[in-house]
Structure 1
Amino acid sequence: MSDMPSIEEISLASEQLGLATDASELHGALCGWLAGGGLDTAAWPAKVLADDVLQTPAADSPLDRLRQISAQQLEDRGFAFELLLPDASESLSDRAQALFAWCRGFLGGFGLAAGSAPALSEEGNEALQDLARLAQADPDSGDGDGEEEEDALAEIEEFVRVATLLLHGDCVMAPRHRQSLN
């Protein structure tokens, strides 16, 4: 599997296409769309951002690679799925802000693809509610850059990663499995 484009590459490509969304939130929206059963299409920005006038990213552009890699990671049984977030050199507050933006994007994309009442497992419903709480969160503006805060952010990131895979399982893998049984 090739490498995920960097936040900088996605930000630049997003700006060039006129997408008014930051890189983490855009990746969250894409993953929400795919996890909710949305079509893996080269014209994904128009679908994911619900704006039919948005251009399709060029083949093999950073945005196209982001779609391809995200779709592959969601399908990977080895749990290789990654969130597109700032690296550890950024402040804890900036990384938390990006994670919460990722969750906001995810909810928007998921809602567009899955509709208002997707068939979710009990765990899937709980995960979706937790993601909604995270999307509304605001990182403390305190001076928390300590080890406890780092550990807490790492746990939340891992939860979001697993919740995304769980929702993808409920909305994409389970229906596909049921179809193959019939």
Structure 2
Amino acid sequence: MSDVELPSWTAVHDAVAGLGLAVTPAELHGALSGWFAGGGADAPDWLAQVMADPDLPQVPRDTPLDTLRAASLSQLSDRGFGFELLLPAADATLGERSGALFDWCRGFLGAFGLASGANPPLSEEGSEALADIARLATATAQDDGDDDDEEALSEIEEFVRVAVLLIHGDCVLAPAHRQQFN
């Protein structure tokens, strides 16, 4: 497992609000994950790059957003597949949690495209996973549901988690591994 844990939803929410960003914590984490999965740099101005807004400030060290960056990078590279999605707690409503998951997917897509460019080096499975994340990004949150809906949401969350690891593997880990042998 990764040695860096994601900050809490509330800590990221408060940091996002403090900067006046018009994103949810889920969308920001999705964007940051998409940036890194697409090969984006871990740079001091990561927030400006990920949000495609050069006017955004650098994130100070040892803040919730810096912890979000460090945890995301660490978890994506974790050989134990310890990557997690920053989503509301289980006691949030089904609508809040499903909406956050779809926000996460929208954030991922935008920043992945910024980082990877027009032709990312995706395998067939990676391309299918990216297309599935794109479909989820267009979904609408459901206000209420039953146990079957709860189970379906859990399965979708796990699918997205694994899909992101696959995409990161195609775009970042595989090229780095090939470089080692050249």
User: Which category of TM-score, normalised to the shorter sequence, fits these structures?
Assistant: over 0.9
1:166 is matched with 166
Provide the rounded CA distance (Å) in 1 between the counterparts of 2:58 and 2:162: 29
**Contact 2:99/2:142, CA 8 A, preserved across alignment:** no
Measured against aligned partners, the alpha-carbon deviations of 1:10-47 in whole angstroms (never above 9, x if no partner) come to 11111212222110000000000000000012321100
Letter in 2 for 1:114: S
Question: Any conservation in 2 of the 1:42–1:64 contact (CA below 8 Å)?
Answer: no
Name the residue aligned to 1:97.
Answer: 99
Equivalent-residue separation in structure 1 for 2:13 and 2:44 (angstroms): 18
Identity %: 58
Matched, 1:33 2:35: yes
Displacement of 1:169 in angstroms is 0.2
Alpha-carbon distance in structure 2 between the residues aligned to 1:2 and 1:111: 26
Partner residue of 1:55? Answer: 57
Q: Which runs of 5+ in 1 are unaligned?
A: none
Q: Which amino acid aligns with 2:47?
A: P
Which aligned runs of 4 or more in structure 1 are off by greater than 3 angstroms?
none
TM-score (norm 1): 0.96
Tell me which of 112, 124, 131 is aligned to 2:133.
Answer: 131
> How many residues matched?
180
Matched residue, 2:16: 14
Normalising by structure 2, we get a TM-score of 0.96
Quote how far apart the aligned CAs of 1:139 are. Answer: 2.4
